[in-house]
Chains A and B, each alone.
Chain A
Amino acid sequence: MTSFKKILAGAGLATALLSSTALAQSGDPIKVGILHSLSGTMAISETTLKDAMLMLIEEQNKKGGLLGRPLEAVVVDPASDWPLFAEKARELIEGEGVDAVFGCWTSVSRKSVLPVFEELNSILFYPVQYEGEESQRNVFYTGAAPNQQAIPAVDYLMEQEGVERWVLAGTDYVYPRTTNKILEAYLQSKGVAPEDIMINYTPFGHSDWQTIVSDIKTFGSAGKKTAVVSTINGDANVPFYKELGNQGIAATDIPVVAFSVGEEELAGLDTAPLVGHLAAWNYFMSVDTPENDAFINTWLDFIGDDNRVTNDPMEAHYIGFNMWVEAVEKAGTTDADAVIDSIVGVTVPNLTGGMSEMLPNHHITKPVLVGEIQDDGQFSVVWETEGLVPGDAWSDFLPESAPLMADWTDPINCGNYNTETESCGGVTN
């Protein structure tokens, strides 16, 4: 199996090399590491991101590479195994000498590679929405922080749908637990009574949703408009939505807004019974802009299958990659320290018609879109924020993180700066 993966990696490498030689670039190639699982449970989500990165690198080489040098992709497979992520990251940076790494999906895989990137002083671009409460000098968070996804979605339900009763359902791990903690604090600050909030956790890959769906039905029959805020992890969603559809819970009665369900996840589902359920993201494939049209066409050509979809983490990689390219050109070198300094303030177009900016806290500005599931497996945007929302590393709605901020520019240069004590080091934990 290992040799099979090597062949895969070699094939990726060869394509990158072939396309670059065609353009008479000179100099050694700049190596870019891709750290996404191609086997194991997370392959379902991460394989697509590997392909998206290969496409972005190929496109950049067509434009003449970077600093006059061709780009070369180095693909490794951490196999959905968290400790292996750290080993593979080390292999990429020390063994292959890559200048930047694009990768990780789950929070636990990111936490596992953090010390490696810090020790070897390299750069990681992390493309997935996550729970926040973190900012590291060597990591750039191009996915959404909770204030760029969860909070606006709840606002939408409160204002447009008049929701007063909330079910916070999630898979039992760090992202849903932290997000729900933030949401609970936020809802209570908006005057929602504790008895109008029901919190429910399920194990990974939960497939028997009968009891929970019928509980939701009961909870929803108290005469107040009820909605479900779902941080249920990818794999458990299909049986969850199937049960919802079968027990006859329509979106017009109890809408479900999901933070982990995108176009890719819906590809395995008949969406007709789900029309009207919601998802909050920073990008939808259905967004009608020239940039998005061009991106989708390039993607469909690259992958050679007209039925493939694009999704939010792909856009995050698109933004992150373009920011890195611009920062390297600005710095004139791929040296990590120089790029970390030059990337703050870099502004590149996103795919929804705006310009995203890299902030000093290593998060970016993004629009927040709320979309409803359509019967063709796409989302129709029903609401969006006016302008872009800056990513907030430390939530303002948790007492322990409210006074914290991150700023990686001089003079603060700190990931958890406490504005009350005016010192780096945050809270004691």
Chain B
Amino acid sequence: MTRQSLWLAALLMTCLGTLAAAQSPQTAPATDAEGPTAAAPGFEGLVRALPDGNFDEVEALVSAIAETGDERATGVLEALASGDLHRLKSNEAVVIVREIGGDDHAFDALSGESYGEIPRRGSSAIRVNNSLRRVVAAAVGTLTLRHPDPARRLEAAQAAFRAPDAAQTDALSAALDAETDPDVRTALAEAVAVATLTAGTAPVPTQLDAIATIAARGDGVALSVLTPLTGSDAPEIASAASEAVDRIERVRQMWSAAQNVWFGLSLGSVLLLAAIGLAITFGVMGVINMAHGELVMLGAYTTFFVQEIIRNAAPALFDWSLLIAAPLAFLVAGAMGVAIERGCVRFLYGRPLETLLATWGVSLILQQTVRSIFGPNNREVGNPSWMSGAFEIGQMTITYNRLWILVFALAVFAILLFVMKRTPVGLQMRAVTQNRAMAANMGIRTGWVDAMTFGLGAGIAGLAGVALSQIDNVSPNLGQSYIVDSFMVVVFGGAGNIWGTLAGAFSIGIANKFLEPWSGAVLAKILVLVFIILFIQKRPRGLFAVRGRAVDG
């Protein structure tokens, strides 16, 4: 009851406040001293009423706050949307909470006065939900439509587009007439068009113009605005809308094929990264290394470890964390690989079944060791800013993290190819795997070369871990999900041929992504597996079989 009456009082003050505010021009920034004081009682009352309302009441309050035009309104509303607007439990003040040096500090939302550090649970946040967040964004938009910064104006126009409000049409049109920046003009024109179409009261030619404006976007957003209009009562509007929808759909279909190719390349690059280390240990050396996935996991945990140190010691370096982690991951996983080879695998050459069992045991040991040290939970590995977000080519969305992983995979592949074909180490590796006895006679320390080869494969698995930490869970189970795929790629591509691994990875990736839309993810995976089994029946040595005397048996 008391809450309700409080709120009613606040609403009364709202009306007074808006009346007072109406006297000063709304959009003019309140630079003179009288501006804020004129709007003050209403604004302050409204803000104080925020913690008490339910979502609908708060929505009304938000619009009222925006209408006061008070210069503090933007700050308060933005804090509300981000969940930083709290009520202090000690004195009921509405405060904006900011994190300073890891502690929460409260500042009065009205006076800006600091209340100092607040304890955990010393304040309760004012609840916001998605629809409220949209309303707040639109309200902030009306306040910033004439902001001097074009980026803020663009944001305001986009917010108005997302939360179309017929009442804003005039304000938006006025802003459009005054606008000089071409990008903001387009966004504003679209916002005006959506507002016009939502209202649906404008004369038919105006509405048809609006449809043309929206259709020019040609994307999913345009579709979602236009599709409901195909059922419009006015026949001209309905036909114009359905025509536009058909046109957009046709273009989208073409793009979706391109998008599938991109998805396939991206999946292929992940498979390539996971498999390329195995192409050495299994493909070249013939060791069935079941611990391969765990070496990938070690690389991911190295990335986590590096990021943890950077977060605590030098946060400014965070964007470089992956570049720092990559060589370290190579060394950690490589060293572990050498240890596995010297400690276990070298006693088992020529006995594939024992190797399989022994390396599987090693994989369990590695998993549980990591689980005991770092805990069973997922670890947070952040995306550096250059790996977050996406850009659009036409109607294709390309995410930066996938793009960089593709580049990284190809770079690792190129370096590996160079090492194998153009360096003395690579020459010795190939010599030992092709004819061990002859290589030994030529004075090559075959044992040492074995260890280095296995270490190289393991190190590359570690590099894969750095990349995979960006798109997958960093948990002790990370490796398990890649081991089967890796073997599949190497066997399909042809063991012993690194180019085969490349071709195998990308063809499996693309096939999977073309199957997925019509068969679903589960069936697509099964179909690919069945296809590979049949293929291996026909060509047991894979896509690119190694021919000649090198093939033993």
Contact = CB atoms under 8 A, between A and B. Distances in A.
Interface in B500-527: 513, 516-517, 520-522, 525
Interface stretch (B199-207, B379-387, B439-447): B379-387
B223 A223 contact: yes
Contact of B371 (A43, A269, A276, A383): A43
Contacts of B389: 246, 248
Interface in B394-408: 397, 399-402
Interface in A226-267: 235, 238-239, 242-243, 245-248, 251-253, 255, 264-265, 267
Contacts of A220: 220, 224
B25 interface: no
A246 B225 contact: no
A60 interface: no
B377 A267 contact: yes
Contacts of B475: 44, 235, 268
B435 interface: no
B228 A44 contact: no
B220 A47 contact: no
B364 A380 contact: no
A375 B397 CA distance: 25
Contacts of A43: 371, 376, 476
Given A380-B83, A382-B127, A41 B399 contact: no
Nearest to B473: A238
B471 A203 contact: no
User: Taking chain B's interface residues, is the majority helix, strand, or loop, or is none over half, making it mixed?
Assistant: helix
Interface stretch (B259-267, B283-291, B349-357, B420-428): B259-267
B239 interface: no
A277 B367 CA distance: 32
B397 A207 contact: no
Contacts of B129: 160-161, 276, 372, 382-383
Interface in A200-221: 200-203, 205-208, 210-212, 214-215, 217-218, 220-221
A161 B131 contact: yes
A401 interface: no
B361 to A, nearest CB: 10
Contact of B224 (A4, A223, A235, A375): A223
A196 interface: no
Nearest to B376: A43
Interface in B475-500: 475-477, 480-481
Contacts of B306: none
Contacts of A247: 390, 397, 399
B4 interface: no
Nearest to A248: B390
A1 interface: yes
B376 A223 contact: no
A381 B127 contact: yes
A275 interface: yes
A13 B221 CA distance: 60
Interface string B162-174: 1000000000000
A288 interface: yes
A43 B225 CA distance: 46
A177 to B, nearest CB: 11
Interface in B208-231: 219-221, 223-228
Interface in A265-309: 265, 267-270, 273, 275-276, 288, 293
B124 A288 contact: yes
Nearest to B388: A246
Contact of A44 (B376, B388, B397): B376
Given A210-B263, A211-B516, A380-B125, A223 B226 contact: yes
Interface in B275-316: none
Contacts of B513: 210-211
Contacts of B83: 275, 374-375, 380
A251 B83 CA distance: 14
A222 interface: yes
A205 B483 CA distance: 13
> Interface range on chain A: under 10, 10 to 19, 20 to 34, or 35 or more?
35 or more
A44 B388 CA distance: 26
Contacts, number: 175
A214 B259 contact: yes
A245 B388 CA distance: 9
A203 B521 contact: yes
Contacts of B517: 211, 215
Contacts of A214: 259, 263, 397
A235 B130 contact: no
Contacts of A223: 223-228
A409 interface: no
Given A44-B377, A270-B382, A221 B131 contact: no
Given A172-B522, A201-B520, A255 B376 contact: no
Contacts of A44: 376-378, 475, 477
A107 interface: no
Given A239-B473, A267-B378, A268-B475, A372 B130 contact: yes
Contacts of A375: 82-83
Interface in B110-132: 121, 124-125, 127-131
A39 interface: yes
B474 interface: yes
A267 B380 contact: yes
A207 B471 contact: yes
Contacts of A202: 521-522
A375 B83 CA distance: 9
A167 to B, nearest CB: 13
Given A214-B259, A293-B121, A47 B368 contact: no
Contact of B223 (A222, A248, A255, A267): A222
A269 to B, nearest CB: 6
Given A39-B371, A222-B227, A270 B383 contact: yes
B57 interface: no
Contacts of A382: 55, 127-129
B137 interface: yes
19 contacts: A1-B364, A38-B376, A41-B480, A47-B375, A47-B377, A162-B131, A203-B525, A210-B263, A211-B517, A223-B225, A238-B473, A243-B399, A253-B162, A267-B377, A268-B474, A270-B382, A372-B130, A375-B82, A382-B55
Considering the complex of A and B, which 10 residue pairs feature the smallest CB-CB distances, nearest first?
Answer: A268-B378, A221-B220, A223-B227, A43-B376, A223-B228, A246-B399, A221-B224, A382-B129, A221-B223, A202-B521
Given A222-B224, A264-B377, 6 more contacts: A1-B368, A201-B522, A223-B228, A246-B401, A251-B130, A383-B129
